[in-house]
């Protein structure tokens, strides 16, 4: 079951560890509520003042008791005492068999949550359960599965108890898949990093994120990888034996899937191994973990792998080094990986295999969401192109004001006829791909009376028709399409 080792430090943090797993729950056992009351969460009971509502933690199943105390430590600063009491009553519903494995508890928890969400219980109660489950996922607490939350729980709409049918879902920044613009910035930032100039801690964060980017791997998968799981096939292609995301039953324990990886990821792992050996003066063995802990004083690599919480800190250190204005996590990269697979038309069963899902119903949510986006390609392009250009570098002129004669640019529109859209002001031969690439070129002299929107819309529709909706999503992310869309957007707003 659970072995609770309590040591109250100056930071007043309480750690609860589980015998069957190496995850910890850390929280402040002496938080102050909204009403100014200091709680003592080391006790089995807390009475909320002035309402005199009793929180009896002995009524919470032992597997979730420390989870709920951690939640109370966080939530008491934000929510009323009455809300905390209601949440306590809800958490009393969950029951588990004694001496269950981590996988069994996680699966039972998902089943119980599903039953509650499909029952006629009030919407406010459903919202509270989703709130607590989502918080536990964000904190990476044991038993709470991020895919179950992202692909099922977080997609539910159940209105409000007032019967207004109001959607209670809330968009949260830095949680969904990376947007097209974020992907572009992230890839550029990763490409500019010199791994040898990073500290071991920063490089561990980079390796973990890179695995997430290439394979869609979760935190719990990344931290289990050992050097023996990295190899090269007979044809010279690097691969990684990736631990399963979910271990269902003892027969599935320690199962790995052989997944091809990029040469850049393989080289990154080699650099990390070299830094380990340089710091310790010893060769790393095959059984050593890719992401290991370091000795506190001299930062020498150990034989122990990092926990999810330690890896989260490693990742944050690297995020600081990247200097991004948005958050990148394995969770977001996994969503991005899944969304891109679906956008490319990958069959549902293949996606389920790569994402290690047995419940295809969860992935169907992604399918519906991604194809909904694909049907509105123009809207996606317009929103994602907004950060591509700070200003249009060419000119908008009248046809008679073109700087050079004989350099007209033609493009087809929806009526299949060629239209004169502008002129090239460059005196050197063009190496671009007109007319599409012209919109991102500083030499373009776009004619003010041309139907530029019709031209760009036709190019988008033609791409969609020729390559199919799923492939068009990828093609239309090219900088030329984004630049053309941005130009039309600025023209319509009167900015050029």
Specify which of 166-180, 200-214, 342-356 reaches the highest per-range mean pLDDT.
Answer: 200-214
Distance of alpha carbon 186 from alpha carbon 329, whole angstroms: 11
Is the dihedral angle over the CA atoms 420, 424, 430, 432 positive or is it negative?
Answer: negative
Query: Using 50, 70 and 90 to split pLDDT, how confident is the model at 245?
Result: confident
Report pLDDT digits (tens) over 441-452: 778 888 877 777
Range with the poorest average pLDDT among 46-55, 324-333, 425-434: 425-434
Residue in this structure with the two tokens 């990736």, named with its chain if needed: 242
pLDDT at residue 209, rounded to an integer? 95
Distance of alpha carbon 16 from alpha carbon 283, whole angstroms: 35
pLDDT at residue 453, rounded to an integer? 76
pLDDT at residue 149, rounded to an integer? 87
Residue 285 DSSP class:
P
Report pLDDT digits (tens) over 269-282: 999 999 999 999 99
pLDDT at residue 39, rounded to an integer? 94
Distance of alpha carbon 62 from alpha carbon 290, whole angstroms: 33
Report pLDDT digits (tens) over 128-182: 999 999 999 888 888 998 888 887 887 777 766 554 444 444 444 566 778 767 8
Does residue 8 register a pLDDT over 50? no
Phi, psi (5° rounding) for residue 178? -65, 135
Phi, psi (5° rounding) for residue 53? -80, 130
Q: For helices 200-215 and 180-191, give the axis angle rounded to 10 degrees.
A: 140
Containing 260, the helix (H) or strand (E) segment is strand 256-260
Distance of alpha carbon 214 from alpha carbon 271, whole angstroms: 17
pLDDT at residue 432, rounded to an integer? 65
Residue 289 DSSP class:
B
pLDDT at residue 279, rounded to an integer? 93
The SS3 call for residue 115 is helix
pLDDT at residue 344, rounded to an integer? 65
Mean pLDDT of the chain: 79
Query: Using 50, 70 and 90 to split pLDDT, how confident is the model at 426?
Result: confident
The SS3 call for residue 420 is strand
Query: Using 50, 70 and 90 to split pLDDT, how confident is the model at 489?
Result: low
pLDDT at residue 388, rounded to an integer? 42
Does residue 91 register a pLDDT over 90? yes
Distance of alpha carbon 160 from alpha carbon 171, whole angstroms: 17
The average pLDDT across 81-101 equals: 92
Query: Using 50, 70 and 90 to split pLDDT, how confident is the model at 294?
Result: very high
Cis amide linkage into residue 213, ω under 30° from 0:
no
User: 10 Å Cβ neighbour count for 146?
Assistant: 22
pTM confidence score: 0.61
pLDDT at residue 394, rounded to an integer? 73
Does residue 11 register a pLDDT over 80? no
Phi, psi (5° rounding) for residue 38? -90, 120
* Contact between 149 and 117 (Cβ < 8 Å): no
pLDDT at residue 382, rounded to an integer? 47
Higher pLDDT, 223 or 12: 223
Which domains does the chain show, CATH number per domain? 2-155 (no CATH), 180-374 (1.10.443.10), 380-492 (no CATH)
User: Roughly how many angstroms between the first and final C-alpha of the chain, as a whole number?
Assistant: 67
Range with the poorest average pLDDT among 107-121, 127-141, 270-284, 336-350: 336-350
């Amino acid at each position: 079951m659970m072995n609770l080792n309590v040591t109250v430090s100056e930071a007043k943090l309480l750690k609860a560890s589980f015998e069957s797993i190496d995850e910890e729950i850390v929280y402040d056992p002496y938080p102050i509520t909204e009403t100014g009351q200091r709680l003592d969460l080391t006790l089995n009971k807390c009475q909320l003042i002035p309402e005199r509502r009793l929180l009896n933690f002995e009524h919470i199943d032992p597997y979730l008791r420390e989870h709920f105390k951690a939640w109370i430590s966080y939530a008491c600063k934000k929510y009323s005492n009455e809300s905390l009491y209601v949440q306590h009553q809800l958490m009393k519903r969950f029951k588990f068999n004694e001496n269950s494995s981590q996988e069994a508890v996680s699966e039972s928890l998902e089943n119980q949550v599903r039953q509650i969400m499909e029952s006629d219980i009030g919407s406010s109660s459903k919202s509270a359960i989703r709130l607590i489950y989502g918080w536990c996922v964000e904190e990476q607490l044991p038993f709470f599965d991020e895919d179950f939350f992202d692909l099922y729980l977080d997609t539910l709409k159940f209105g409000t108890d007032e019967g207004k049918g109001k959607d209670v879902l809330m968009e949260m920044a830095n949680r969904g898949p990376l947007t097209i613009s974020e992907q572009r910035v992230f890839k550029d930032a990763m490409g500019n990093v010199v791994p040898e100039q990073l500290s071991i801690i920063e490089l561990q964060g980079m390796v973990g994120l890179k695995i997430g980017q290439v394979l869609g791997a979760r935190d719990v998968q990344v931290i289990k990888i050992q050097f023996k799981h990295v190899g090269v096939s007979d044809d010279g292609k690097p691969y990684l034996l990736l631990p399963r995301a979910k271990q269902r039953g003892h027969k599935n324990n320690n199962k790995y899937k052989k997944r091809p990886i990029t040469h850049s990821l393989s080289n990154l792992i080699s650099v990390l191994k070299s830094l380990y050996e340089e710091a310790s003066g010893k060769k790393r063995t095959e059984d050593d973990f890719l992401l290991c802990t370091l000795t506190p004083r001299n930062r020498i690599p150990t034989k122990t792998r990092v926990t999810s919480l330690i890896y989260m800190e490693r990742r944050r250190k690297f995020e600081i080094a990247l200097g991004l204005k948005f958050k990148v996590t394995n969770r977001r990269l996994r969503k991005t990986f899944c969304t891109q697979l679906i956008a490319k038309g990958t069959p549902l069963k293949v996606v389920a295999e790569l994402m290690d899902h047995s419940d295809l119903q969860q992935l169907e949510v992604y399918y519906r969401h991604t194809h909904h986006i694909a049907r509105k390609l123009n809207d996606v392009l317009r929103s994602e192109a907004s950060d591509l250009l700070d200003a249009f570098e060419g000119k908008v002129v009248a046809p008679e004001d073109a700087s050079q004669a004989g350099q007209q640019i033609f493009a087809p529109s929806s009526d299949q006829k060629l239209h004169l859209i502008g002129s090239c002001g460059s005196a050197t031969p063009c190496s671009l791909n007109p007319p599409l690439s012209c919109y991102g070129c500083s030499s373009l002299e776009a004619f003010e009376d041309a139907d530029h929107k019709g031209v760009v819309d036709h190019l988008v529709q033609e791409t969609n028709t020729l390559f199919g909706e799923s492939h068009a999503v990828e093609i239309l992310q090219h900088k030329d399409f984004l630049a053309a869309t941005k130009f039309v957007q600025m023209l319509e707003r009167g900015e050029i």
